[in-house]
Amino acid sequence: MSAFLQIFLGILTAMGGFVEVGELVFSVGAGAKFGYSLLWVVALGTLGIILFGEMAGRVAAVTKQPIFDWVRERAGFRMGLGTLLAANLVSLLTCAAEIGGIAIVLRMMSGWPYRLLAILTFLALLAIVWFFAFKWIERFFGLLGLLMIVFIIAAIRLRPDWHAVAGGFVPNVPAVESSKDYLVYAFFAVSLLSSIMLPYETYFYASGAIEDGWQPHEVPMNRIVVTIGFVLGSVLSVALVLIGAQLLKPLGIDPQWPGAAALGPAFTMGRVGLAVALLGMLFAFGGAAVENALTGAYNTAQFLGWPWGKWRKPAGAPRFALTWIVMLTLAVLIILAGVNPIQVVEYSIVFSVLILPLTYLPLLMAAGDKRLMGAYVNNGPTKIAGWFFLGLVTLAGLFALPLLVVTRGGKL
Amino acid sequence: MRRAEHHSRALQTVVVAVVVAALAFAIALATFLPANRDTLRVNLNSIGTSAAEGLTLARGDDESRLTRNFYDVELELLRDDLAHVTTNLTHARPLPELRGHFAEATALAGSASGALRALATPGASAESVIAGQATLGSIKARVDSLKQELER
Of residues B8, B22, B48, nearest to A401 (C-beta):
B22
**pLDDT tens readout for residues A204-246:** 999 999 998 999 999 999 999 999 999 999 999 999 999 999 9
Taking only the tens place, the pLDDT of each residue in A345-373 is 888 888 888 888 888 888 899 999 999 99
Q: Which helix (H) or strand (E) holds A267?
A: helix A259-304
Residues B23-45 as b or e (16 or more Cβ within 10 Å = b): eeebeeeeeeeebebbbbbbbbb
pLDDT one-digit tens code per residue, B85-137: 999 999 988 989 999 999 999 999 999 999 999 998 676 778 888 888 999 99
Whether B15 sits inside 8 A of A270 (CB atoms) is no
Residue A8 pLDDT: 78
List CB contacts (< 8 A) between A257 and chain B: 74, 77
A94-145 confidence digits (pLDDT tens)? 999 999 999 999 999 999 999 999 999 999 999 999 999 998 998 899 899 9
Chain A residues within 8 A of B50 when measuring between CB atoms: 256
A83 touches chain B (CB under 8 A): yes
Which one is predicted more confidently, A141 or A16?
A141
Q: Is the pLDDT of residue B5 over 80?
A: no
pLDDT at B26 over 80: no
User: Does A74 contact B8 at a Cβ distance shorter than 8 Å?
Assistant: yes
The pTM is what? 0.93
Cβ of B12 under 8 Å from any chain A Cβ? Answer: yes
- Which pLDDT band holds residue B1 (cuts at 50, 70, 90)? low
A367 touches chain B (CB under 8 A): no
CB-CB: which of B7, B41, B72 is closest to A361?
A: B7
Chain A residues lying within 8 Å of B57, measured CB to CB: 263
Instruction: Determine the average pLDDT of the residues in A190-203.
Output: 91
**Residues of A in Cβ contact (< 8 Å) with B38:** 180, 408, 412
pLDDT, position B139 = 96
Question: Do A377 and A149 contact (CB within 8 A), yes or no?
Answer: no
Phi and psi dihedrals of A198, rounded to 5?
-50, 130
pLDDT on residue B4: 64
Q: Chain A closest CA to B125's CA: distance in Å? A: 22
In contact, A100 and A118? CB cutoff 8 Å: yes
Closest listed residue to residue A279, CA positions, set A112, A113, A135, A149: A149
Chain B within 8 Å of A257 (Cβ-Cβ)? yes
d(CA A69, CA A116): 39
A1-60 residues touching B, CB cutoff 8 A = none
Q: A292, A397, A118: which is closest to B22 by C-alpha?
A: A397
CA dihedral for A283, A285, A286, A291, sign (positive or negative): positive
Minimal-distance CA residue of chain B relative to A77: B5
Residue B70 touches partner A, C-beta closer than 8 Å = yes
State the DSSP H helix or E strand holding residue B59, giving kind and residue range, or none if neither: helix B37-62
Q: Which chain A residues contact residue B1 at CB under 8 A?
A: 73-74
Nearest CA in chain A to B42: A412
Min Cα distance B128 → chain A (Å) is: 22
Q: Is the pLDDT of residue B12 over 90?
A: no
B18: contact with A, CB 8 A cutoff: yes
